[in-house]
A and B are shown apart, each in its own frame.
Chain A
Amino acid sequence: MISEELATFLAAGHSGHIATRGERLEPDGARAWAIVVDPDRIHVTAYVMKAAASGIVENLSSHPEVALTVDRVIDHVTWQLKGAAVEVRPARAGEKAEVVRQADGFIGSLEAIGISRRLTANWRYWPCVAVRLRVTEIFNQTPGPGAGERVK
């Protein structure tokens, strides 16, 4: 189960990336613009911009393995969740506000490390594909000795 503290971290609007793999073990991935943790704190939903999600969607149709990494760019505290996709669907209109909020939070943190909003003005994060996964493993992925240590 995802701790309450980690659930707050995941949904705070940091730098998210989702990884999948294809038939011949070729990895694919994209930015996850938002992450929502289910109340059961076992399932999470990652939101990937539809235009960047074709490889992921295709992979998940036959190989459900997913890795989801969230990095707080101001100090690189990073967590990785692993599990299996249980649902892939178009994101609903009612979910847009949360995606926008988290994406804006991430872009704001880039600004805090010197990457201006002028540069990121063309980044697009809607419409999205929602990938819901059941989390089975959690890793502390903060760079350094011991990075990748499993905590669940």
Chain B
Amino acid sequence: MKIALETLGPCFQGIFPSMLFTCSKAGVPNVALLSHVEYLDPTHIALSFQFFNKSRRNIAENPQALLNVYDPDTAQAYVLRVRYVRSETSGPTFESMNLRIEAIASHSGLKGIFKLLAADVYEVLSVDRSADEIGIAPAGGTRSAAPPDAVFTMKALQEFADRIHRATGLEALLDSILEALDQLFGFHHAMILLPDEQPGRLVTIASRGYPEDGVGAEVGIGEGIVGMVAEAMKPIRISGLVRQMLYAVAVMNRAQEQGLCRDSRRIPLPGLSHPESQLGIPLIARGELAGVLCIESEKPYRFHEEDKAYLEVLGGYLAIAIQNMLLRERIEEPDEPPAAHPPPPPARPAAGDGTRREIAFYAADEVILMDGEYLVRGLPARILWKVLRERERLGRVEFTNRELRLDKSLALPSYKDNLESRLILLRKRLEQRCPEIRIAPSSRGRFALDLACEAILVERP
């Protein structure tokens, strides 16, 4: 029975290593490991050309090749007889392959070395099942193009939209997005990152499914898989991340041996300690990046093409929802300042032993350390320092977002200050690191500072 190339989509996720067999004009065969194989259409695939190696020289002399690929769901191997057609160094095929390779490169500290030189397009002449590497029966008994746990039903999508519409504030919105992704679609590990006030950085604002919520974890735009999603403003789906990292690390070791790569620093990913699949979705509204949704799994082949397609569409919807919520919270802020300042109330009784906390603000770096450990930096640090100082000096415990915006010492940008997201970040960081100090919303556009400890404020240069 003829095997249609389009039924082999899962084989091109890079979970099993592929091998490329070539032959020189002089008749000397060669077999080499291949980094990426991409499906193009029912008769074409593209192979990654990353290094000027023997395979590439053979192909230039003799366009015939043989390729092994594997189905990650069944471990069935397929043998593809192919013929080189052309190399592409731009265009959608190149861009798509390049983005995935760049993401892996960035994740492993190999930017500039682990890179795509060209997407080599091959015509597929035949596809056969391997006679020795025989797969197990697929789940459900038949091979299906649909993922085994497809969940994007109309009912689920309606419920997803309903939950988002019911959210009354930004924090509730972000939490409801992650909760709905988990409960309705089975994406148990996810995080949302928003642009930081510091240009070129994203900061984690909400997460679900991790031992620590990771709020405040930062990623530079262009760094790692999440950072690459933000830079390219395109989704990136990586399967078999462990296998692909092994390949990248092998390249790094070779590069280091040859003195081409001194920086072996890796960008630590927030989230799962050993993610096997990652799906990064840019949240784009009106051509502008509102954030990045990152979903992870410990399964090597968790995210299918359908997941990516649906989430890319939902990403636009979520971006608009986030932007609208930011706008709404700003519009509905009260104009009047809080009532006259009462004397500061006594600190809430501490749960344990009458805790004392030293809160040190390092002005030059705009960083707050709590008992010597990092708490927050940048705008959230400036806000916390302001409200703690005002509580100490003036006895104030209630504040408005509006007055923060008008306070020149906080230096909020005049346009798109993201104040609400900074307050959420601050509130969550305090919950994690110092539950004795709380920033609690008291009404729309207002929040109260609540202390259950003695706060020793120290300002350092």
Contact = CB atoms under 8 A, between A and B. Distances in A.
A25 B33 contact: no
Interface size for chain B: under 10, 10 to 19, 20 to 34, or 35 or more residues?
35 or more
Given A25-B64, A144-B255, A146-B258, A115 B16 contact: yes
B249 interface: yes
B29 A147 contact: no
Contact of B31 (A69, A75, A147): A69
B132 A52 contact: yes
A146 B258 CA distance: 8
B113 interface: yes
Interface string A107-129: 00000011100111111110000
B243 to A, nearest CB: 6
A27 B243 CA distance: 26
A17 B251 CA distance: 20
Contact of A144 (B27, B133, B251): B251
A66 B31 CA distance: 10
A57 to B, nearest CB: 13
B254 A27 contact: no
A5 interface: no
A82 interface: yes
A2 B136 CA distance: 38
Interface string B243-254: 100110111111
A114 B243 contact: yes
Interface string A67-111: 111010111111010100000000000000000000000000000
Contacts of B243: 73, 113-114
Contact of A145 (B27, B68, B132, B258): B258
Nearest to B114: A144
A113 B245 CA distance: 11
A26 interface: yes
A78 B33 contact: yes
Contact of B53 (A28, A33, A68, A148): A148
Query: Which of A30, A69, A124 has the largest count of B CB atoms less than 10 A from its CB?
Result: A30
Contacts of B183: none
Contacts of A82: 28
Interface size class of A (residues with CB under 8 A): 35 or more
A71 B32 CA distance: 9
B421 interface: no
Interface stretch (B18-26, B147-155, B358-366, B379-387): B18-26
A39 interface: no
B135 interface: yes
Contact of B135 (A63, A122, A144): A122
Contact of B134 (A17, A65, A75, A124): A124
B23 A25 contact: yes
A145 B72 CA distance: 28
B31 A119 contact: no
B30 interface: yes
Nearest to A107: B75
B246 A74 contact: yes
A81 to B, nearest CB: 10
A41 B151 CA distance: 57
Given A63-B27, A115-B16, A143-B33, 17 more contacts: A19-B30, A25-B27, A25-B62, A27-B65, A29-B66, A51-B132, A52-B132, A65-B28, A114-B276, A122-B135, A123-B75, A123-B133, A141-B32, A142-B250, A144-B51, A144-B113, A144-B253
22 contacts: A21-B27, A27-B23, A28-B66, A31-B77, A31-B133, A67-B29, A75-B246, A76-B17, A76-B246, A76-B247, A78-B250, A80-B32, A114-B243, A115-B72, A119-B136, A122-B134, A122-B136, A124-B132, A143-B35, A145-B254, A145-B258, A147-B51
